[in-house]
Amino acid sequence: MGHTYQAVQWNPQKKRYDQLVVGGVLLYLAVFMAVSAAVFPEATLETLLIRGLGTAALVLLHIILSIGPLARRDPRWLPLLYNRRHLGVTMATVAFLHGAFSTLQFHAFGDVNPIVSLFTSNTRVDSIAQFPFQPLGACALVIVVLMAATSHDFWLRNLSAPVWKALHMLVYVAYALILLHVALGSLQTESGTVTPAALGLGAVWLGALHLRAARAEGARDREEEVREAAAAEGWMDACGVDEIPEGRAKVVVAAGDRVAIFRSEGHLSALSSVCQHQNGPLGEGRVVDGLVVCPWHGFQYRPRCGTSPEPFDERVPTFRVRVEDGRVLLDPRPLPLGTETDPVPVSSAGSSPA
Amino acid sequence: MTTIEVLVALTGLYLAVGAVFSIPFALVGAGRIDPDARAATWGFRLLLLPGAALLWPILARRWATGAQPAEERTPHKCAARDRTGAEA
């Protein structure tokens, strides 16, 4: 690989995004605390802050878990997806502050170690109304802090993508623990129905979003598998020439993964859609100055050979394409890394292998 | 000592060892197991500390054995490699 790690790969858009996120969290806290102080005048400032941070983290978690399925259904959400890790680190920080202040407030002023007190002060596991909800929150906090601590590219590369992904899928375990933490906690501190109703709505929203996205993705993948199987050893009908806008790509499935067929200056080239850096979605990127640019971190590849310009040495497989009667045909067998292909003019008539 | 007290003490010990380990790892070890971390910024090294303190046994093993990051295996790369082998 040919790049050096930085703390944060900021660009003007990401800076604006982060400013919006931090500003949004601060605004939420201010509004939440002001409204809560008016509704619950007996609540102390510490209690308002703890609740404000806890609910802010929960709202952020719902946004984070919504972004993936929303982006799969509508590409306009993709910019949020590309910055999701910043949102995750913000959520973990807010959740950590909630946990730290809660532990200080409820467990730090006795004779017992605060962490021991957190796990032992309430042992009524046989009662739903009095269930020890704080350990559930503590376990969720461990997960989100571990995820935030390993969110940098360094960890993805050195833990390997499957391990990193499995680790970060624990967010769903954390979500379940947090739901129980909040639901059981609200039973002990309030008698209203607002919190359970909001939690239920959130869970239904996320469940429905994930289910719809999984169904849509499953149907698309099945369609692609059928098309790939029909192609067997030969060329597969990928799409119409008109379906690929200039400077962008059409993504199809071939050889078990996604292939991006790019159109640049009236010519077509096909690359594996999986960026060598973090498996980013190359097919969602665009061609800039003759190079395919990954939308996640700006890694670049030459369309004709799938290699990065010097001094970088990333390489992704290329595929042969040809145009027949306005249809783009793709040879589903990936070419050896670094293989040069001739871009195919979109206007080519008859058979013209790349 | 109760079971919880023992577990909390062991966790504290684990994290204390991790905190001590994380400093030389961020300064030297990260660059040994990943060439891209050799000339990395101070901000990056600072960001490594919490993760290194939490996952220190894995990192210590990789550092001790001189392990390097494996190249990502994707279906396309495997197929391309198989094709290279078949054509050779």
A120 touches chain B (CB under 8 A): yes
Of the ranges A83-92, A290-299, B64-73, the best mean pLDDT one: A83-92
CB A239 within 8 A of CB A321: no
- The pLDDT value recorded for residue A351 is 44
End-to-end CA distance of chain A: 28
- DSSP3 helix / strand / coil % (chain B, rounded to 5): 80, 0, 20
Q: Average per-residue pLDDT in chain A?
A: 88
**How many other C-beta atoms lie within 10 A of the C-beta of residue A145?**
19
Identify all chain B residues contacting A259, using CB atoms and an 8 Å cutoff: 76
- The pLDDT value recorded for residue A244 is 93
Nearest to A116 among B5, B41, B59 (CB): B5
pLDDT above 50: residue A350 = no
**How many other C-beta atoms lie within 10 A of the C-beta of residue A264?**
21
Distance from CA of B40 to the nearest CA of A (A): 5
Distance from CA of B75 to the nearest CA of A (A): 6
Residues 6+ apart with CB under 8 A from A241: A268, A323, A326, A327, A328, A346
Contact A159 B58 (CB under 8 A): yes
Sign of torsion, CA A144 A150 A156 A161?
A: negative
Identify all chain A residues contacting B69, using CB atoms and an 8 Å cutoff: 157-158, 160
Q: What is the pLDDT along chain B (88 residues), one digit of tens a residue?
A: 789 999 999 999 999 999 999 999 999 999 999 998 998 899 999 999 999 999 999 999 999 998 888 776 777 777 777 766 665 5
Angle between helices A134-149 and B42-54 (to 10 degrees): 140
pLDDT category of residue A229 using cuts at 50, 70 and 90? low
pLDDT above 90: residue A5 = no
pLDDT above 70: residue A231 = no
A255 touches chain B (CB under 8 A): yes
Sign of torsion, CA A179 A185 A187 A191?
A: negative
Give the distance from CA B13 to its chain's centroid.
Answer: 20
B3 touches chain A (CB under 8 A): no
Mean pLDDT, residues A104-121 taken together: 92
Buried b (16+ CB within 10 A) or exposed e, A313-322: ebbbbbbbbb
Contact A4 B40 (CB under 8 A): yes
pLDDT above 70: residue A94 = yes
Q: Compute the radius of gyration of chain A from its Cα atoms.
A: 25
Contact A150 B51 (CB under 8 A): yes
Look up the ipTM and state it: 0.88
Tell me which H or E stretch contains A330. strand A327-330
CA distance A182 to A308: 48
- The pLDDT value recorded for residue A353 is 45
- The pLDDT value recorded for residue B84 is 66
A6 touches chain B (CB under 8 A): yes
Q: Which DSSP string corresponds to A242-287?
A: GGS-TT-EEEEEETTEEEEEEEETTEEEEEESB-TTTT-BGGGSEE
